[in-house]
């Protein structure tokens, strides 16, 4: 556990002492700020049955910027250390592979949360500035925050895994992007492949991040996605640990 | 300190280390010597728990390297080949991180880092980014990293690789100094380094241990022929004919003649000194003699003799 916190600190330091975190933060705030103001503008001119939060997270524009985030924040985790050779120093120190994986993973999760905070800041700010108390209900606010955290945990686990597979950061980034997008589109598959109401439709909607987002940003906390994302993340992290230990045995 | 028995590492279609066994006692400085691709780095990586062996077993400081890997790693300071470092960290910051990850506490680590920087003469660059340091300094950062938690055993993989002669001397002196407190296993292919610092040499080639002895004994045991050079004034052919009659001489060759002086090289059987006989012969024949010298076999000869791989297929490291 001690090693975990030392490693976590080191990872966080390398995120926030390099321009990476700040460039991403600027980009993400700009994208979503622009999207936010457009939406507010649109909702002023037309009646919407949905809340501001629902509309923002329902927008394709949001998801686009969102998915570019993951390759960028995870690609260097292990790939860089493999390239530099520092993995050798790391794993010949008295640390467990699991501690290294978890430290890198949670450092990235913290970075992710920091990147998302401004978006939720917009909503908080909106009520203050406009004085319209009931632009959305707290359930929508906290629900969407929770599901975004869960989807993030899962996607960062994909990125962590991809970064451990290769020593090339670009390849790690591409695997992550493809993985993240594939999962996302899996959620749309039922619209094309199956007839509504069939067993396939209901099965496929279980995987749909957008469906999860809809439920949660309506303020409904469904436990199924929570279990789904947490267990998949744990599985991917376990794979990551084994991939890293596999170097020992590789013939 | 280290006990290795029948350690084998096989990669697909290639045996990098083939059932090697050796021991290193507490307080020894042992040189691990071999041509490139002999299996040195692989062995060291197994001993530091970075790789696993295919077969065999090894203990470091009494702990099994497979079953008690964390305990082993706590007691070993390892400097990998080419010294990989985080280039975006400052020297003191990096060492601090390494000290803490090796289990030193907050205060302890500060003291340990100061001490390690002192030993490795890094204090003046402690605020610099590692990425901006020269190779020599990086090497010393690697060394400071290896010894920061005062491990029982230091394993250094080619610590003087890529340094200039002055830096090599500094690192060598440093290693000799460290030998007073630590057990050290150094891998290298620079023979001079080993002769100067190590009490014992293990020569490995193509994954097999060829010899394990003190440098002096290796040279003494060496079967390679000694060489005597001499320059005499006289008819070369006649001189050669006389010389070849002497006992213990395997061959005598005439190189060239300069202003009447014939330069001759004589190869003798192992460890026989024929200089006295040659001198007496010269007196008897009334040759003028202006050089008579014997080149002693060096560790280099031993190395070449033991690892001569002219017929071996090339293999990567």
- Is residue B38, in this structure, part of any structural domain at all? yes
Confidence of residue B270 (pLDDT cuts 50, 70, 90): low
Is residue B134 located within the same domain as residue B271?
Answer: no
Count CB-CB contacts under 10 A for residue B313. 6
**B156: domain CATH number?**
3.40.50.300
Confidence of residue B129 (pLDDT cuts 50, 70, 90): very high
Range B140-155 average pLDDT: 91
Is residue B207 located within the same domain as residue B239?
Answer: no
Interface contact flag, A86 B82, Cβ < 8 Å = no
Restricting to B residues 36-55, those with a Cβ less than 8 Å away from any Cβ of A are 45, 48-52, 54
d(CA B252, CA A98): 67
CB B192 within 8 A of CB B242: no
Structure tokens that stand for B227 in this block: 């060489």
Is residue B23 located within the same domain as residue B165?
Answer: yes
Range B120-134 average pLDDT: 91
B182 in reach of chain A (CB within 8 A): no
- Is residue B309, in this structure, part of any structural domain at all? no
d(CA A180, CA A202): 21
Whole-number pLDDT of residue B313: 44
- Is residue B302, in this structure, part of any structural domain at all? no
Counted across chains A and B, CB pairs separated by less than 8 A come out at 64
- Is residue B10, in this structure, part of any structural domain at all? yes
Count CB-CB contacts under 10 A for residue A31. 17
Confidence of residue B179 (pLDDT cuts 50, 70, 90): confident
Answer with the one of B161, B185, B220 that is the final residue of a domain. B220
Closest approach of chain B CAs to the CA of A3, in angstroms? 6
What mean pLDDT, rounded, does chain B reach? 84
CB B130 within 8 A of CB B85: yes
Where do the H-state alpha helices sit in B179-274? 191-197, 215-221, 236-243
**B247: domain CATH number?**
3.30.70.3100
B286 conformational bin, left if phi > 0, alpha if psi -120 to 50, beta if neither: left
Identity of the residue in B71, B78, B85 whose CB atom sits nearest the CB atom of A86: B85
- Is residue B17, in this structure, part of any structural domain at all? yes
Whole-number pLDDT of residue B312: 43
For A147-156, what is each residue's pLDDT tens digit? 999 999 999 9
Is residue B75 located within the same domain as residue B148?
Answer: yes
Answer with the one of B195, B220, B245 that is the final residue of a domain. B220
Interface contact flag, B80 A85, Cβ < 8 Å = yes
CB B268 within 8 A of CB B292: no
For A47-91, what is each residue's pLDDT tens digit? 777 888 888 888 888 888 889 999 999 999 999 999 999 999 999
CB B21 within 8 A of CB B70: no
How many residues are there in chain A?
251
Whole-number pLDDT of residue A149: 95
What pTM value is reported for the model? 0.85
Answer with the one of B190, B220, B250 that is the final residue of a domain. B220
Whole-number pLDDT of residue B311: 41
Highest mean pLDDT: which of A143-157, A178-192, B25-39? A143-157
For residue B189, which phi and psi values (nearest 5 degrees)?
-120, 15
Question: What proportion of chain B, given as a percentage, has pLDDT over 90?
Answer: 29
- Out of B163-172, B214-223, B254-263, B302-311, which region has the weakest mean confidence (pLDDT)? B302-311
d(CA B110, CA B300): 43
Is residue B233 located within the same domain as residue B162?
Answer: no
Whole-number pLDDT of residue B163: 80
CA distances for A46 relative to A50, A58, A217, A243, angstroms: 11, 17, 20, 52
Closest alpha carbon to A179 in A98, A236, A100: A236
Count CB-CB contacts under 10 A for residue B111. 12
Q: What is the dihedral of CA B273, B278, B279, B284, to 10 degrees?
A: 150
How many residues are there in chain B?
317
Is residue B213 located within the same domain as residue B232?
Answer: no
Confidence of residue A249 (pLDDT cuts 50, 70, 90): confident
Question: What proportion of chain A, given as a percentage, has pLDDT over 70?
Answer: 98
Confidence of residue B309 (pLDDT cuts 50, 70, 90): low
Restricting to B residues 60-89, those with a Cβ less than 8 Å away from any Cβ of A are 70-71, 73-74, 76, 78, 80, 82, 84-89
Question: What proportion of chain B, given as a percentage, has pLDDT over 70?
Answer: 93
Identity of the residue in A6, A18, A248 whose CB atom sits nearest the CB atom of B100: A6
For the cut 80, the answer to whether the pLDDT of residue A193 exceeds it is no
DSSP string, B32-65: EE--TTSSHHHHHHHHTTSS--SEEEEEETTEET
d(CA B102, CA A95): 8
| Owning domain of residue B207 | 2-220
Is residue B168 located within the same domain as residue B215?
Answer: yes
Q: Which residues of B touch A92 (CB under 8 A)?
A: 48-50, 73, 76, 78, 80
* Domain total of chain B: 2
- Is residue B32, in this structure, part of any structural domain at all? yes
Interface contact flag, B50 A248, Cβ < 8 Å = yes
Closest alpha carbon to B186 in B45, B31, B315, B291: B31
Is residue B237 located within the same domain as residue B204?
Answer: no
Is residue B203 located within the same domain as residue B244?
Answer: no
d(CA A61, CA A119): 14
Structure tokens that stand for B248 in this block: 């213990």
Interface contact flag, B98 A10, Cβ < 8 Å = no
- Is residue B167, in this structure, part of any structural domain at all? yes
Is residue B54 located within the same domain as residue B124?
Answer: yes
Q: Which residues of A touch B100 (CB under 8 A)?
A: 6
For B35-94, what is each residue's pLDDT tens digit? 888 888 999 999 999 998 888 999 998 899 988 999 999 999 999 988 999 999 999 999
Q: Which residues of B touch A14 (CB under 8 A)?
A: 86, 88-89
For the cut 60, the answer to whether the pLDDT of residue B30 exceeds it is yes
Whole-number pLDDT of residue B84: 93
Is residue B145 located within the same domain as residue B72?
Answer: yes
Where do the H-state alpha helices sit in chain B? 40-47, 69-75, 91-101, 106-119, 135-147, 165-178, 191-197, 215-221, 236-243, 275-285, 299-307
Interface contact flag, B45 A7, Cβ < 8 Å = no
- Is residue B313, in this structure, part of any structural domain at all? no
Is residue B206 located within the same domain as residue B262?
Answer: no
């Amino acid at each position: 556990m001690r090693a975990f916190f030392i490693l976590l600190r080191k990872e966080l330091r390398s995120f926030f002492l390099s321009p990476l975190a700040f460039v991403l933060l600027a980009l993400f705030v700009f994208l979503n700020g622009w999207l936010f103001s457009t939406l507010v503008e649109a909702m002023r001119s037309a009646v919407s049955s949905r809340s501001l939060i629902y509309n923002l997270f329902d927008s394709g524009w949001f998801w686009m910027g969102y998915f570019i985030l993951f390759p960028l924040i995870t690609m260097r985790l292990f790939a860089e250390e493999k390239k530099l050779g520092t993995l050798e120093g790391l794993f010949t120190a008295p640390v467990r592979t699991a501690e290294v994986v978890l430290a890198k993973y949670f450092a990235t999760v913290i970075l992710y949360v920091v990147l998302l905070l401004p978006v939720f800041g917009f909503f908080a700010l909106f009520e203050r500035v406009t004085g319209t108390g009931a632009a959305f209900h707290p359930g929508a606010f906290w629900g969407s925050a929770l599901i975004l955290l869960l989807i993030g945990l899962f996607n960062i686990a994909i990125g962590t895994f991809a970064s451990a597979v290769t020593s090339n950061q670009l390849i790690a980034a591409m695997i992550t992007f493809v993985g993240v997008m594939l999962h996302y589109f899996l959620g749309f598959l039922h619209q094309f492949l199956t007839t509504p109401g069939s067993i396939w439709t209901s099965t496929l909607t279980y995987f749909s991040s957008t469906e999860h987002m809809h439920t949660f940003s309506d303020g409904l906390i469904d436990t199924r996605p929570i279990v789904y994302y947490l267990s998949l993340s744990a599985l991917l992290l376990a794979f990551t640990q084994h991939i890293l230990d596999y170097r020992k045995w590789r013939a | 300190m280290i006990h290795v028995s029948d350690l084998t590492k096989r990669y697909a279609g290639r045996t990098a280390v083939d059932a090697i066994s050796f021991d290193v006692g507490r307080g020894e400085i042992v040189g691990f010597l071999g041509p490139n691709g002999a299996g040195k780095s692989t062995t060291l990586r197994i001993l530091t728990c970075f790789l696993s062996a295919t077969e065999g077993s090894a203990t470091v400081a009494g702990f099994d390297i497979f079953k008690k890997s964390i305990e082993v790693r706590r007691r070993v300071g390892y400097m990998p080949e080419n010294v990989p470092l985080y280039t975006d960290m400052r020297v003191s910051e990096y060492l601090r991180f390494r000290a803490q990850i090796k289990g030193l506490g907050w205060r302890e680590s500060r003291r340990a880092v100061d001490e390690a920087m002192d030993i490795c003469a890094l204090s003046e660059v402690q605020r610099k980014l590692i990425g901006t340091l020269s190779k020599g300094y990086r090497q010393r950062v690697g060394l400071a990293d290896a010894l920061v938690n005062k491990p029982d055993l230091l394993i250094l993989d080619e610590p003087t690789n890529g340094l200039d002669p002055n830096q090599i001397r500094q690192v060598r002196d440093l290693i000799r100094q460290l030998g007073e407190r630590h057990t050290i296993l150094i891998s290298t292919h620079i023979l001079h380094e080993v002769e100067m610092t190590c009490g014992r040499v293990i020569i490995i080639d193509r994954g097999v241990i060829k010899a394990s002895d003190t440098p002096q004994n290796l040279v003494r045991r060496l079967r390679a022929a000694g060489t005597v050079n001499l320059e005499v004034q006289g008819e070369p052919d006649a001189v050669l004919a006389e010389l070849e009659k002497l006992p213990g001489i395997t061959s005598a060759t005439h190189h060239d003649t300069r202003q009447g002086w014939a330069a001759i090289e004589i190869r003798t059987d192992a460890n026989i000194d024929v200089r006295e006989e040659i001198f007496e012969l010269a007196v008897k024949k009334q040759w003028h003699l202006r050089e008579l010298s014997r080149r002693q076999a060096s560790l280099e000869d031993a190395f070449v003799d033991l690892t001569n791989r002219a017929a071996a297929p090339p293999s990567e490291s």
